[in-house]
Amino acid sequence: MSAPSIVILTGAGISAESGLGTFRDEGGLWAQHRIEDVATPEGFARNPQLVVDFYNARRTQAAEATPNAAHEALARLQSEHSGSVTLVTQNVDALHEKGGSKTVIHMHGALNSALCGRCEHRWSAPLEMTVGQSCPHCGAPSARPDIVWFGEMPYEMDRIEKALARADVFVAIGTSGNVYPAAGFVQLARHAGAHTIEMNLDPGENVGLFDDIRPGMASQTVPAWVSEVLSQ
Ligand code: APR
């Protein structure tokens, strides 16, 4: 039997123990800011300074954060597991990469990337972006955070769906299962006959769709699971 193909989806919960806030927990980011003001194209058009300031603050906080045992365990899995491992994150921090992961699919974009609203050129974002910053490629004053806002299409969906279609194991870590299409990945994995595992502090909205529920802190549950997989 060849080694199982594993697809992993992470959410804000995997970065919580690294000090980065989640969205929907008590006092989370969506308790402090209105989604429509800071995470939609309309909000950016209405008040670009508010949006640029919001992501500048998160970029600085993420730049100072360090990966935790969960990020490091997933990097170990990617380097030691003989089957394929596809790591998809909804997170825009770079803690998977800081934890040693070489290949990470950032389906909601990344704080350390800037995007041109006109030509779609991408470049490394400065720690502090400014409103009306010029695109280094087309020169238009249309730089924006390279973040997928509500109403926009997440990145790399073809690649993700192909990986889910051939998954033997699907694991969701630290995500509340509130936001689609990510919250629907468990159904795609089940259609492919994959064994599905949820690792969360509190059960997600879609917890009923998982075969195996492992509640707890990601820094505990993820390394334990990775050791289990690598010892098989
Ligand atoms: N260990 C494991 N899970 C945790 C931990 C922890 N230490 N702390 C919190 N969690 C869990 C919570 O129980 C919750 O289920 O992480 C989840 C966080 O859920 P959300 O705050 O909704 O974050 P997420 O699911 O990543 O949000 C998805 O929504 O707003 C958009 O684009 C944004 O990518 C984000 C998407």
What is residue 2's predicted lDDT score, i.e. its pLDDT? 85
Confirm whether 33 is a catalytic residue.
no
Pocket perturbation via mutation, ligand 1, pick of 14, 15, 23 by most ligand atoms within 8 A of CB: 23
Structural tokens at position 215: 């509640």
* Candidate list 96, 108, 121, 195, residue with the active-site label: 108
Cβ of residue 54 lying under 6 Å from some atom of ligand 1: no
Q: Please give the chain's pLDDT, 232 residues, in tens.
A: 689 999 999 999 999 999 999 999 999 999 999 999 999 999 999 999 999 999 999 999 999 999 999 999 999 999 999 999 999 999 999 999 999 999 999 999 999 999 999 999 999 999 999 999 999 999 999 999 999 999 999 999 999 999 999 999 999 999 999 999 999 999 999 999 999 999 999 999 999 999 999 999 999 999 999 999 999 8
pTM value? 0.98
Between β-strands 122-124 and 195-199, what pairing exists: parallel, antiparallel or unpaired?
A: unpaired
- Domains, the chain: 1-20+67-108+154-232 (3.40.50.1220), 22-64+111-147 (3.30.1600.10)
Separation of 200 CA from ligand 1 center, angstroms? Answer: 8
Cβ of residue 206 lying under 6 Å from some atom of ligand 1: no
The number of beta carbons lying within 10 Å of the beta carbon of residue 26 is: 6
What is residue 180's predicted lDDT score, i.e. its pLDDT? 96
Cβ of residue 12 lying under 6 Å from some atom of ligand 1: yes
Separation of 121 CA from ligand 1 center, angstroms? Answer: 29
SS3 113: strand
